[in-house]
Amino acid sequence: MKRNKNLPLTETTYYVLLALIEPAHGYLIMQKVEEMSDGDVRIAAGTMYGAIENLLKQKWIKSVPGEDSRRKVYIITEAGREIVELETNRLTKLLSTAKLIGFKGENYDEI
């Protein structure tokens, strides 16, 4: 199977796409990413808006109408969902391979 040229995703991109399974504005995305990553990934405002612009260009997210006209709201697209699925499968394969050869890591049994 040929690997997708867009993989691997950066950790930030992966989390942003996951955060946009439901519509959200930039600040809420930043909060969701920090929460999902248990504080391991924190996105600065400038990085957030650069990431949004990049994801819009790739058509992995799109802008949707929001309740507050001062805030732009985004949601993941079907193409974005597909790339998240591919990346999740790639990461799962890596973890499965490590388990298969007997590599013991912290909390692997929970996954």
Residue 49's domain spans which residues? 11-101
Whether residue 56 lies inside any domain: the answer is yes
CB contact at 8 A, 75 and 91: no
Domain annotation covers residue 4: no
In a domain, 91, yes or no: yes
Q: Is residue 106 part of a domain?
A: no
Mean pLDDT of 64-89: 95
Q: What is d(CA 36, CA 25) in angstroms, rounded to the nearest whole number?
A: 16
SS (H, E, C) 25-75: EHHHHHHHHHHHCCCCCCCCHHHHHHHHHHHHHCCCEEEECCCCCCCCEEE
The model scores a pTM over 0.85: yes
Residue 48 sits in a domain whose CATH number is 1.10.10.10
Kindly state whether residue 2 falls inside one of the protein's structural domains. Answer: no
Lowest mean pLDDT among 46-50, 55-59, 74-78, 98-102: 98-102
Residue 20 in any domain: the answer is yes
Q: Mean pLDDT across the stretch 76-96?
A: 96
Q: How far apart are CA 67 and CA 48, in angstroms?
A: 21
In a domain, 88, yes or no: yes
Q: Could you give the number of structural domains in the chain?
A: 1
Please give the average per-residue pLDDT across 60-85, as a whole number: 95
In a domain, 55, yes or no: yes
Q: What is the CA radius of gyration of the chain?
A: 16
When pLDDT is cut at 50, 70 and 90, the band that residue 68 belongs to is confident
Sign, CA dihedral 31-35-39-41, equals negative
